[in-house]
Amino acid sequence: MQNFRNYYQILGVPRDATAEEIKKAYRRLARQLHPDVNPGDKFAEDNFKDINEAYDILSDIEKRAQYDQFSKFWKQKGFQGKQGVKLPNFKTWGNNKASRKKSAEDIDFSDYSDFNKFLDQVLGRRREVRMATANDAPRVPASEPWSTASKKTSYVANSREDRRDFDDREMRRETREIDDREIRRDIEARLTLPLERAYSGGTERIRLDDGRWIEVNMPGAMVSGQQIRLRNQGIGGGDLYLKITVSPHPFFSLEMSDICCQLLLTPCEAVLGGDVEVPTLDGPVKMKLPPGVTSGKRLRMANKGYPTGNGDRGDQLVEIQVLIPKEISEEERELYEKLRQIETFKPRQDLSV
């Protein structure tokens, strides 16, 4: 539409759209047309300004009502012409005092280059700026019927280019403020750690999806599924949520706050018992084996498990597995032969068959 900016069409919403629908449409378009996403694209930059202007009007209940009320007259003749245009039912425009009212019959629309300029004045979008002439002062009183109390027509003696530069800077500033509010959002990233690093914590260097590298001082005793919040590390000052995954360990496994492992023994160790070295997350620890321990038996090492977060720790559960050698030396074979001759243990003696 010439001489008219259809804000509903710019945002792609119907005229009866709700405030929430308008907000969603604006956010979607702002992400697509943002200058940071389209560097050097003049078309995107102009459209980005248009959607911000449209959102500024349609998101304000009072401005939207005024826009809907006045926009239906955009096809009226008279702009850039010599004749005034009569708009019915608008005799109460302006200030509250009756003595300062001005009727629609007195409006000269030839003062405005197009309907947009008229709406600029009505909605307070921006100020109509014209070169000052000798006839301007008596024709434009201080209280124009369509002006708000805080918006007045300005007259400057310098060129339009200077004013346009100022308007562009002001628009960029307002756009940046609106965009900063709308684009701020939280993001999520995933971090997979080996069990030892999840247990000890420490500094981790993380690459985010947007290409940034950050260094994070991670806490100890992290577990799979845990989320760690990093303030102001998201987009536009939002937060970053790190979702932790602890990768499977070849020796240890977690059961709640207990750490489980399997300990392999020789037949002699299982029969005789004694001290053996057991790996833990804190390093090797000596454990005393009872004589005659069998495969599948679990031995408990107190306070060697995973921290619970309240100052306590679980236990380490050591499951015994006795392995039988498949190949032995000649000397070992001779000893086993002698042992078989003298051993008193008869496991099949009491079979009930």
The answer on pLDDT for 105 being more than 90 is: no
How distant, in Å, are the alpha carbons of 47, 130, 163, 273 from that of 157?
31, 9, 11, 104
The answer on pLDDT for 135 being more than 70 is: no
Give 350: exposed, middle or buried? Use CB within 10 Å, 0-12, 13-18, 19+.
exposed
| Average pLDDT of the segment spanning 269-286 | 94
Q: 154-160 long-range contacts, Cβ below 8 Å, gap at least 24? A: 154/127, 154/128, 154/129, 155/129, 155/130, 155/131, 156/129, 156/131, 156/132, 157/131, 157/132, 160/129, 160/131
pLDDT digits over 202-226, tens only? 999 988 887 888 899 999 999 999 9
- Rounded percentage of the chain residues whose pLDDT exceeds 90: 40
Three-point CA angle 237, 234, 213, nearest 5°: 120
How distant, in Å, are the alpha carbons of 199, 247, 248 from that of 252?
12, 11, 8
- Contact, 194 vs 249, CB < 8 A? yes
The answer on pLDDT for 130 being more than 80 is: no
Amino acid 133: pLDDT: 45
Range of lowest pLDDT (171-175, 274-278, 342-346): 171-175
- Contact, 193 vs 244, CB < 8 A? yes
Q: Which one, of 231, 191, 193, lies nearest residue 209 by Cα?
A: 191
136 Cβ contact list (under 8 Å, min separation 6): 130, 155
Amino acid 112: pLDDT: 59
> For the chain, how many residues are written?
353
What confidence category does residue 124 fall into, taking pLDDT thresholds of 50, 70 and 90?
low
Amino acid 62: pLDDT: 85
pLDDT digits over 284-320, tens only? 999 999 999 999 999 999 999 999 878 899 999 999 9
Range of lowest pLDDT (120-124, 168-172, 323-327): 168-172
Amino acid 122: pLDDT: 61
Cα–Cα distance measured from residue 188 to residue 250, given in angstroms and rounded to the nearest whole number:
29
Range of lowest pLDDT (123-137, 182-196, 208-222): 123-137
Amino acid 129: pLDDT: 42
